[in-house]
Amino acid sequence: MFKIKQDLPFNWINTDKFKDMIISIRFAVENREPNVSMNNILSYMMSDRSEKYPSKQAMSNQMDALFGLSLSSKTTTFGAAHVLEIRIRTLNERYTDHAHIQEATRFLMDCVRQPLMNDASLIEAKKNLIASLKRIQDKPSHLGIMKVCEGVGKDTPLAVFSQGNMDVIESVQLEDLKAYHKQLMEQVQPMILIMGDFKGLNQDQLRNQLNFDQNLSILPSAYVFQPKHTFKASIQKETSQTTFTQLYATHTAYNDPKYLAMRLYVIMLGQLPNSLLFQEIREKRSLCYSISASSFNFDGVMAIQTGINYKDIDQVEMLIELQRIKLAKGKFSQALLKTAQKMFINGLESMTDEPYAFLNFMYQRGYTQYDLDLKATIKAIRDVKKSDIEAIAQQIELIGQYTIRGKH
């Protein structure tokens, strides 16, 4: 189904399963400001205009001419690393009336190497990124997570918001940005992922087109957040419900032997319909519509978030704590663990049906250089025992709480 060749920085995934060819280029830098804001500005600019296609119209026309090519860019946090990704997605050549992948690759490289960087394009990028940050903060669920991470993680990567900082973005000058871009092009070897039907494709030529001529250096990414203090804050907003967010240190590294047990713990606590939080707080007591737990795997933290009536907050907080105690004392069924294992494995097995999910898996495998062999991982998930979950549950520590008190 997939023929995979990983000769870093290149990851070749040969498959005729999908109609598209995807080429993804990912630059990793240290997760701190101003890197993060710079990455976000570049992310906007690289997918906006280039020196070769200096107007939005020229970009749009060229993408349409390349069979509806889609060009997109985004930034993501991988713990202590911040990643700028730019990618194209275009039809495999068997669905088009002429070969176009080389031209599409040229187009991508023009956008990466020579984005249109001038005063006007910088002003536009800044304006839109700041507006986007405001929109994110207008959503209580996002605001809750942002604020609790900021409060707990002061001066650590945890406090750095992946989409940038308004003040830093505002202060960036054109010359700084150009210097940052130059540094990125000359000093950071990106990881390159290519997925599609390689039949009839000249891979050597493609490799030459995508060459950056640097040695891949792997920056530290996964780390374990060590809390120095706890944080608790509350604000009032005119929202229709109260958003309650709690943050926990898992004290579990990405390469820790207990890592998979930690993932299963989070699933059992709040990622399934039969998870303890969902059952106790929604199903039994109708206190919320959604309650979930999620782990930030590269930081060693976990969050629980729910939307409730403010009058119920003490009860909900107490019930969350009781579910955590149940897991720590082993007062849960073997069936819950088994279900969590099955669902975790189901997710991994289904990954090969979603091109981006599989590309992300390949990226993590290449970037972290941990052995992420699927079969071995699935076996390790099956081997997790009840006592492993108890051990994880006992080391998890509440470190932050943020409440957005609404009208209800």
Partner 1 sequence: MRKIFKDINEHYDVFELENGMRLYVIQKVDYQSSVFYLGFPFGSFDLVQEVDGELKRFPSGVAHFLEHKLFENPGGIDIMQSFSHLSCNVNAFTSYNETVYYFNSSKKALQKPLNLLLDFVQNLSITEASVEKEKGIITQELRMYKQMPEQRLMAETYHSLYANHPVRLDIGGTEESVNDTTMEDLMDAYRFNYHPSNSIMVCVTPLNPDLIHRLVKANQDQKSFEPRRAIKRLLDEEPKAVVRPFHQFEMDIQASKLTYSFKLDDYSEDHKLNIKNEWQYRLFLELVFSPTNPAYEQWMESNRIAEYFGYEVEVNREYGFVMFYGENEDEHDFVDLIRSSLDEDLNKFKEAFDLLKRRYYAQMLRSFDDQDDYAITLLRSEFSGVEMMDSIAILKSIQFEEILHLGKELLNKPTALVKMTGLRKLD
Interface residues with partner 1 (CB under 8 A)?
A: 1, 15-20, 55-57, 59-61, 63-65, 67-69, 89-91, 95, 120, 124, 127-128, 131-132, 134-135, 137-140, 237-241, 272-274, 279, 282-283, 286-290, 307-309, 335, 338-339, 342-343, 345-346, 349-350, 352-355, 406, 408
Ordered DSSP codes for 203-232: HHHHHHHT-------PPP-------SS-EE
**Residue with Cβ nearer partner 1 (28 or 104):** 104
C-alpha span between 319 and 314 (Å, rounded): 9
CB of 358 to partner 1, least distance (A): 10
Q: How many C-beta neighbours within 10 Å does residue 291 have? A: 25
CB of 325 to partner 1, least distance (A): 22
**Pick from 24, 27, 9, 8: nearest CA to 184:** 27
**Residue with Cβ nearer partner 1 (221 or 323):** 323
| Residues contacting 260, CB < 8 A, separation 6+ | 344, 377, 380, 381, 384
In which element (H, E) is residue 399 found? strand 397-405
**Residue with Cβ nearer partner 1 (151 or 307):** 307
C-alpha span between 392 and 247 (Å, rounded): 16
CB of 48 to partner 1, least distance (A): 9
C-alpha span between 403 and 264 (Å, rounded): 27
Phi, psi of 330 (to 5 degrees): 75, 20
Q: Is 111 exposed, middle or buried (0-12, 13-18, 19+ CB in 10 A)?
A: buried
CB of 182 to partner 1, least distance (A): 26
CB of 162 to partner 1, least distance (A): 18
Instruction: Map tokens 């900021």 to a residue.
Output: 150
Task: Determine the 3-state secondary structure of 165 from DSSP.
Answer: coil
**Residue with Cβ nearer partner 1 (155 or 335):** 335
**Residue with Cβ nearer partner 1 (30 or 354):** 354
**Pick from 33, 241, 283: nearest CA to 140:** 241
CB of 54 to partner 1, least distance (A): 10
CB of 312 to partner 1, least distance (A): 10
**Residue with Cβ nearer partner 1 (60 or 183):** 60
Task: Determine the 3-state secondary structure of 171 from DSSP.
Answer: helix
**Pick from 206, 183, 32: nearest CA to 108:** 206
Instruction: Give the pairing type, strands 242-249 and 291-296.
Output: unpaired
Fill in the amino acid letter for 242: T
**Residue with Cβ nearer partner 1 (16 or 383):** 16
**Residue with Cβ nearer partner 1 (106 or 139):** 139
**Residue with Cβ nearer partner 1 (318 or 335):** 335
CB of 172 to partner 1, least distance (A): 17
Fill in the amino acid letter for 348: L
| Residue 140 CA: distances (Å) to CA of 134, 143, 176, 399 | 12, 5, 33, 20
CB of 368 to partner 1, least distance (A): 24
18 within 8 A of 196, measured Cβ to Cβ: yes
CB of 272 to partner 1, least distance (A): 5
**Residue with Cβ nearer partner 1 (166 or 218):** 166
